[in-house]
C-alpha cells in the first residue's frame, strides 16, 4: 500500500464517487480507479462497494482508518517542519451531538482554529461511535462507553435534560400536572427520528408506548425555539435554559442524565492530542 493509493480510497469515500475523488485529487477518474484496483490487489480484499455513493466494505473501513491516520501524521509532520499554512493544517473529522455543538463544544475547540481544520459531523450521541467504527471520523463525543476497537475512551460528564414547556402550554395541556393521561395526548417536540429522549420519558411515565402529536425540529437552537413558541413540550438540556427563558419544568422527577464520552483513535498525533485536551477541559467545566 502506498500513499497515493490510500489517498484515492479516502477521497472516494469523502466524495462518494470516483469522479468526485478525481476532482479532489486533481487527477483523472481513470487514475483513481487504477489506484483503487492496485490497493485492492495489495490487500487481497474488496475495499469499496461501487454504489452511489461508494461505500467501504468492512475491510475497506479498516484501510480507510489507516489512510486517514497516515494523512494526519503527514500533516502533523509537515507542521512540525515549519511548512504548514492554514489551508494545509491537519484535517480532523469529529462526530459530535447537536446539543453539545450548540452549547459547550465550539468554545472548546475555537482556540485551535489556526492549528487544525475541523470537519464536524453531527449525529445523535447514540450513533456517533458508528462513525468511528467505519473510519468516517477520528474522534467522537458519544454516549457509548465501550471503546471502539483501536480507540481510547474517556468520560466527559453528563448533560441533564428536563421535560419543559411554556407556562401557557403547561396550563393548557397539563392542568393536573404531567399525568400519564395528559402526557399521552399533549403535543411533543422531538429533535429527529433517532432522538429517543422524549419517547423514553413517555414510556417510563405511562408504562406503554404512546404516540402523541409530534413535531420534528432537527436543529438544536430551533428545537429550543419550538418549545419556547409553544409547539409542544420537550426534553431540554440545562445548558440551554435559564431563569428568564419563560419555560417551566413539567415533572421535577423527570430529569434524565445523558453521560457523554470522548472516544478517539489510539494515534500519537500532536493535533489530535491538542483537540482531546481542549474538549476534555471544556467538558470538565461545563458538564461536571
CATH fold group of domain 159-258: D-Maltodextrin-Binding Protein; domain 2 (3.40.190)
Tell me where in the chain the CATH 3.40.190.10 domain(s) lie. Answer: 159-258
The pLDDT of residue 147 is: 92
Say if CB 258 and CB 158 are below 8 A apart: yes
The pLDDT of residue 200 is: 95
> How large is the C-alpha radius of gyration of the chain?
22
> Can you tell me which residue has the cell 405511562?
206
**Hey, which residues does 248 pair with through a beta bridge?**
165
Q: Right CATH number for 1-84 from 3.30.1050.10, 2.30.30.280, 1.10.10.10, 3.90.1150.10? A: 1.10.10.10
Quote the mean pLDDT of the chain.
91
Tell me where in the chain the CATH 1.10.10.10 domain(s) lie. Answer: 1-84
Q: What is the pLDDT of residues 145-186, one digit of tens each?
A: 999 988 999 999 999 999 999 999 999 999 988 999 999 999
Global pTM value: 0.80
The neighbour count for residue 176, using CB atoms within 10 Å, is 7
The neighbour count for residue 121, using CB atoms within 10 Å, is 13
Return the closest-CA partner of residue 262 out of 106, 86, 94. 94
Concatenating the DSSP letter of every residue in the chain gives --HHHHHHHHHHHHHSSHHHHHHHHTS-HHHHHHHHHHHHHHHTS--EE-SSS-EE-HHHHHHHHHHHHHHHHHHHHHHHTT---GGGSPEEEEEE-HHHIIIIIHHHHGGGTTT-EEEEEE--TTTHHHHHHTTS-SEEEES--SPPTTEEEEEEEEEEEEEEEEHHHHHHH-TT-S-HHHHHHS-EEES-TT--HHHHHHHHHHSS-----EEE--SHHHHHHHHHTTS-BEEEEGGG--TTS-EEES-TT--EEEEEEEEEES---HHHHHHHHHHHHHHHHHH-
Return the closest-CA partner of residue 131 out of 115, 118, 144. 144
The pLDDT of residue 88 is: 59
Contacts of 240 (CB under 8 A, 6+ apart): 99, 102, 103, 220, 224
pLDDT tens for the chain, 288 residues: list them. 889 999 999 999 989 999 999 999 999 999 999 999 999 999 999 999 988 899 899 899 889 988 888 888 888 887 777 754 445 577 889 999 999 999 999 999 999 998 888 999 999 888 888 888 878 889 999 999 999 988 999 999 999 999 999 999 999 999 988 999 999 999 999 999 999 999 999 999 999 999 999 999 999 999 999 999 999 999 999 999 987 788 999 999 999 999 999 999 888 888 899 999 999 999 999 997
Amino acid at each position: 500500500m502506498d500513499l497515493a493509493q490510500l489517498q484515492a480510497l479516502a477521497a472516494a469515500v469523502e466524495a462518494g464517487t470516483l469522479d468526485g475523488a478525481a476532482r479532489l485529487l486533481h487527477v483523472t477518474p481513470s487514475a483513481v480507479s487504477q489506484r483503487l484496483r492496485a490497493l485492492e490487489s495489495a490487500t487481497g480484499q474488496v475495499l469499496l462497494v461501487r454504489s452511489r455513493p461508494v461505500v467501504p466494505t468492512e475491510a475497506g473501513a479498516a484501510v480507510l482508518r489507516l489512510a486517514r491516520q497516515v494523512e494526519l501524521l503527514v500533516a502533523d509532520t509537515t507542521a512540525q517542519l515549519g511548512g504548514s499554512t492554514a489551508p494545509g493544517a491537519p484535517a480532523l473529522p469529529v462526530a459530535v451531538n447537536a446539543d453539545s455543538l450548540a452549547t459547550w463544544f465550539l468554545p472548546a475547540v475555537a482556540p485551535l482554529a489556526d492549528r487544525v481544520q475541523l470537519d464536524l459531523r453531527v449525529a445523535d450521541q447514540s450513533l456517533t461511535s458508528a462513525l468511528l467504527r467505519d473510519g468516517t471520523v477520528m474522534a467522537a463525543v458519544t454516549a457509548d462507553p465501550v471503546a471502539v476497537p483501536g480507540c481510547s475512551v474517556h468520560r466527559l460528564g453528563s448533560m441533564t435534560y428536563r421535560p419543559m414547556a411554556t407556562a401557557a402550554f403547561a396550563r393548557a395541556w397539563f392542568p393536573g400536572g404531567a399525568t400519564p393521561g395528559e402526557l399521552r395526548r399533549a403535543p411533543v417536540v422531538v429533535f429527529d427520528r433517532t432522538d429517543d429522549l422524549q419517547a423514553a420519558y413517555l414510556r417510563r411515565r405511562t408504562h406503554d408506548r404512546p404516540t402523541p402529536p409530534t413535531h420534528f425540529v432537527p436543529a438544536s437552537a430551533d428545537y429550543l425555539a419550538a418549545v419556547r413558541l409553544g409547539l409542544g413540550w420537550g426534553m431540554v438540556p440545562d445548558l440551554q435554559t435559564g431563569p428568564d427563558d419563560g419555560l417551566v419544568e413539567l415533572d421535577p422527577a423527570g430529569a434524565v442524565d445523558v453521560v457523554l464520552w470522548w472516544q478517539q483513535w489510539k494515534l500519537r498525533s500532536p493535533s489530535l492530542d491538542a483537540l482531546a485536551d481542549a474538549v476534555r477541559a471544556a467538558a470538565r467545566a461545563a458538564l461536571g
